[in-house]
Amino acid sequence: MAIINRRARHEYHFIENFDVGIMLAGPEVKSLRNGQANLAEAHCLIRQERVWLINCHINPYKPAARNNPAEPARARELLMHKREITRLLGKLKEKGLALVPLKFYFNDRGYAKLAIALARGKKDYDKRHAIRERDVSRDLQRRYKMR
């Protein structure tokens, strides 16, 4: 089961995507498997040549009450190669670029992964245009299904 940041698709144009590992405690992995996480307010930062996921809320796993981390919205380190991080640092110095978390998923080997993207924020008129296109395509689909 994937946990998707739907708000990010509305707010940003994606330039480049990355799949990264994430350092989690054991009960946090169980919560992710149950779909108990929220990426809506989350963002990524690079500090001291490390990438961090900030403000991502992963609910405590109830059966593991004593082993749960104290803070559900704590900062979590993301795992990337050093040369990828340095390349990202250079690109992030451009005005208007940000690292945005897109979705949590589990790969074929069962590891928790996070899809992040280098993104540029959309302007208001871009958002209105995207909404208009989505509505028009939805109306067209409805018309053709009714026939």
In the prediction, which pLDDT does 147 show?
65
> Which pTM value belongs to this model?
0.79
Among 94, 95, 97, smallest CA distance to 116 is for 97
Joined tokens for residue 40: 């809506």
Does 147 fall in a domain?
no
Does 130 fall in a domain?
no
pLDDT band at 100 (very low <50, low <70, confident <90, very high): very high
| Cα–Cα distance measured from residue 142 to residue 134, given in angstroms and rounded to the nearest whole number | 12
Between 104 and 70, name the one with better pLDDT. 104
Percentage helix, strand, coil for the chain under 3-state DSSP, each rounded to 5: 35, 35, 30
Does 68 fall in a domain?
yes
CATH number assigned to the domain comprising residue 11: 2.40.280.10
Does 24 fall in a domain?
yes
Share of the chain above pLDDT 90, in %: 33
Number of separate domains in the chain: 1
Does 137 fall in a domain?
no
Residue 52's domain comprises 3-122
Joined tokens for residue 17: 């995507």
Using one digit for the tens of pLDDT, what is the confidence trace for 22-58? 998 778 888 888 888 888 889 899 999 899 999 998 8
